[in-house]
Structure 1
Amino acid sequence: MNVALVVMDTLRFDTFRERFDWLSGIRFTNAWATSHWTVPVHASLFAGKYPSELGVHVDNQSLDCPEPVIAEQLGEAGYTTRAFASNIILARPFGFDRGFDEYTGTWKFRALSGDVFDWEAFADEPQGPAAYARAGWDCLTESYETWPSLVRGARVALDRVDEPPGHESRAALDYVRRTDVGDHEFLFVNLMDAHMPHTPPESYRTAEIDEPYETATEYNGLVATAGDGPDTDPAVLKQAYDDSVRYLSDVYREMHEELLDDFDVVVTISDHGELFGEHDVWQHSYGVYPELAHVPCVISGDGIDDATRTEPISLLDVHRTLLDLAGIGGESRGNGLLDLSGPTVTADPTPRDCLVEYLGPNPRNREKVERLGYDPTRFDEELFGIAAGSSYGYETNDGFRIVGDADESALRDRLAELRTDIDRRDARSERGVSEATRRQLEQLGYA
């Protein structure tokens, strides 16, 4: 059994439904993330518990939980485990490579997976040949990781900004095509096209922007939420997002076909959505709003016919399903999504209520909000959401909100029960990152 898990980072459910109608398999139209941003959601996907139980959240962004993670479990069962990622917040310094035999990504992802010399800062000032020679010598003799630092220096010297837009997903597609897949393989892929900044190839750009997409769509979501929104027209931002998702859909159509040739089952999901001013909130920096928590989930593969299921499921169920597909045990809060007992594979989700957690703001973003003179205290309150039946209830600073026809009192009581059932792990991390990594985190809105 070969299994692939593909996460299309920051893809909203409504945009997915519009742009991915070609995707075959079982569609779960009532799927919910465990949190509002990449790190805690991927921790849940990998370890099968809520982020607060794992202790992976804004105050500890490393996958350092004592629980085994999916790649470790599959590896012990004899699987070859591979990963290709683009999001720097999932790089090796944050521990998400645990259990993978091969953990790679774009050159930028690989180069920033350690303590790397900050060539961008160096290149900001006029430098002569002697200075470059000294910098190269520092890469060899100081505490920097030598090869990643030298590779990054070469890229900067060759003017990396001229790389074609959309190259990251194309690099992932090339990786899938050239990988020699055997038996008992697990592949994890993270694709970043739907994530800010939105930079699809020129032929996909339809938004009317006077400046490059790269700068017009790059802003800090928490700052925008604390202030008066981003400088760029929200309609333009949404169009640039949609342009990026159209490109993602086209690339993923090619990738999905390649994956189905080598993998028995391909699970396609998003980790969270994105906000463009709904609720006066921007990006995925704050809250458990339905536009953030409602995510796509499709399971495709041999013997899996097209179907639509409307029961509420959690991304925790993806973790349990991966274990089931491999035929191995393991602790998980998730429920299996597939009936594997017959000649064909059908959906078999166990009825459940799904919890969504917001555990506070990214500390780097909070500091930036405060530094710019805004009051960040309203972001500090923890907020939770619950998907039950066909309804979703969620906490805000201004009260409890419901999408659907559920009884408010009953939904709030059930949310309180779910929260009480959580055994939280208190974890804090003082781990720093290199200046080069910090720059990349800032471009992605994480700093």
Structure 2
Amino acid sequence: MDESSGRDSESHETVRNVVLVVLDTARARSVDVTGDPDTRERTRSGTDRPTTPTMDRLAAEGTTFERAFATAPWTMPSHASMFTGMFPSEHGAHGGNTYLDDDLRTLPEAFAGGGFQTIGVSNNTWITEEFGFDRGFDDLRKGWQYIQSDADMGAVVRGEDTREKLEATRNRLFDGNPLVNAANILYSEVLQPAGDDGADRSTTWIENWLAGRKDDRPFFLFCNFIEPHVEYDPPREYAERYLPEEASYEEATAIRQDPRAYDCGDYQITDREFAMLRGLYRAELAYVDDQLAQLRRALEAAGEWENTLFVVCGDHGEHIGEHGFFGHQYNLYDTLIHVPLVVCGGPFAGGGRRSDLVQLLDLPATVLESVGIDDPALRRQWSSRSFLPGSDDEPRDAVFAEYVAPQPSIERLEARFGEIPDRVRAFDRRLRAIRTDEYKYVCGDDGFERLHHVPTDPFEQTDVSGDEPERARTLRERLEDRFGSLESATADGSVSMREGTKERLADLGYL
């Protein structure tokens, strides 16, 4: 798919560049501009403390989408949808096939074909060339490496004691350039700042790149900040703003954070501990919100802010005790798929708050239309609809989400924990969801189904599928019309990963 694409001569003159910032694992309910005040965690004083003032400012200047939804509850399929404009079962990158097909056209490729410089900064190890996300980028930087290198020293970081760290160093030091590897080990073990998972280095690098940039082309900049992802380890000064009354930083950061172990019943978390974890999570959001402010200042200093479309979203949400879960796997509750989305600049300036249903896979159609790029190859494959003000695309009357295959698989959980609870074994299924203005319906290939009346049950506590079987049937048929029968769908396909990649994913709790 190397079909060329071009810029429309009537593109919006006020939009030259596009910046897409993903706050990894940011759920809508915990972000000020989209969160429900009734659900916000309380601070020490017992009152709400703003979590994301920078996003609030962007929202005041731009447009907030109150009902934006991811297509999947975890990083890889959600980013694949943002990059291709396709649903997970369409692009095929999911728990059963952890690679973005080379034949698919991506958003960075469309920008590159439209004459843009394309830069990516990823702090999540899923979003790298290992999984096919580098296509179209002039440069895709890996935020977890101090010096950019193909060799991965993550095994050293994971060592539980000095012996393990030394053993990992011996095994990995000569995997590539030993001097570069030694520098990365020194950084991770001695010099890496506490409470930061790469965000500060990323914004500093972007700031320097902007300041020294000589390229006359417009640019597309993608950046993923991973701090809100487990483990929640914000700087102390941030954590202390959001922890519950009488909870100390030491007590909160001592709580074990192992979502897969929690789901499998390997340990318990009390309500008080979940309250502290939610405080740490909010502190992480506050920290990356400050990084957003730094990024904005860098764009302003470079003279690029006024003609840049600035998009901020979460790629999926998080369970922190809700529905009995910790993390973001195995289900499609709104806690996982309802995400913040704020767009600032150009035609979105002063747009206020919009309550129409939109999906993250609508971003390709929207941002390309904003800068006047028509990419036929990408357009032919996508299910994307532009939500640009005045666009000819039809607004959505429903949004969809899919969980194509368990990640990690039940087999991997068994290998780690041995016998696992029946509750977890039941998650070995494929799920689909449809959400309209009034109803949310979820069904699985094992016969599972739930129906919720959203206006009266926004937290999806009461299943009314038995009370309204016709409603459930209608929505189930609509899902089948859109994606085909669940019974005939398969989640086969696999791709081999380097051992270092498997270990990085284990760090993130996916393996």
Shorter-chain TM band: 0.7 to 0.9
Q: 1:161 to 1:2 in 2, by over 3 A?
A: same
Superposition pairs of residues 43-442 of structure 1, within 5 angstroms: 43-108=80-145, 113=150, 118-120=155-157, 126=163, 139=174, 144=175, 146-147=176-177, 150-157=179-186, 160=189, 162-164=191-193, 165-166=195-196, 168-180=198-210, 182-206=216-240, 207=243, 208=247, 216=255, 218-219=257-258, 221-227=259-265, 230-231=268-269, 233-259=273-299, 261-262=303-304, 263-302=307-346, 304-326=349-371, 327-329=373-375, 330-331=379-380, 332-339=382-389, 350-363=395-408, 366-369=411-414, 371-372=416-417, 373-375=419-421, 376-395=424-443, 399-405=449-455, 409-410=470-471, 412-422=473-483, 428-435=493-500, 437-442=501-506
Q: How many residues align?
A: 432
Residue 420 of structure 1: how far off its partner (Å): 3.3
Q: Which runs of 5 or more structure 1 residues have no equivalent in the other structure?
A: 342-346
Residue 163 of structure 1: how far off its partner (Å): 1.6
Q: 1:419 to 1:259 in 2, by over 3 A?
A: farther
The one-letter code of the counterpart of 1:216 is I
Write the distance in 2 (CA, Å) between the matches of 1:127 and 1:30. 47
Write the distance in 2 (CA, Å) between the matches of 1:122 and 1:42. 30
Write the distance in 1 (CA, Å) between the matches of 2:450 and 2:352. 33
Q: Which moved more, 1:176-185 or 1:287-296?
A: 176-185
Residue 425 of structure 1: how far off its partner (Å): 8.6
Residue 111 of structure 1: how far off its partner (Å): 5.4
The one-letter code of the counterpart of 1:253 is A
Write the distance in 2 (CA, Å) between the matches of 1:257 and 1:151. 32
Residue 33 of structure 1: how far off its partner (Å): 0.5
Residue 89 of structure 1: how far off its partner (Å): 1.5
| CA deviation vs aligned residue, 1:17-51 (integer Å, no higher than 9, x gap) | 25332323111101110000000000000011101
Residue 323 of structure 1: how far off its partner (Å): 2.1
Q: Is the contact between residue 200 and residue 244 of structure 1 (CA under 8 Å) also seen in structure 2?
A: yes
1:11 aligns with 2:26: yes
Q: Is the contact between residue 226 and residue 369 of structure 1 (CA under 8 Å) also seen in structure 2?
A: no
Write the distance in 2 (CA, Å) between the matches of 1:240 and 1:91. 27
Q: 1:425 to 1:188 in 2, by over 3 A?
A: farther
Identical positions, percent: 26
Q: 1:348 to 1:250 in 2, by over 3 A?
A: farther
Residue 197 of structure 1: how far off its partner (Å): 0.6
1:357 match: secondary structure: strand
The one-letter code of the counterpart of 1:295 is V
TM-score by length of structure 2 reads: 0.75
Q: Which moved more, 1:349-358 or 1:364-373?
A: 364-373
Residue 410 of structure 1: how far off its partner (Å): 3.3
Write the distance in 1 (CA, Å) between the matches of 2:234 and 2:345. 29
| CA deviation vs aligned residue, 1:53-72 (integer Å, no higher than 9, x gap) | 11110011111252211111
Q: Which moved more, 1:408-417 or 1:198-207?
A: 408-417
Q: Which runs of 5 or more structure 2 residues have no equivalent in the other structure?
A: 1-15, 36-50, 457-467
Write the distance in 2 (CA, Å) between the matches of 1:79 and 1:284. 34
TM-score by length of structure 1 reads: 0.85
1:205 match: secondary structure: helix
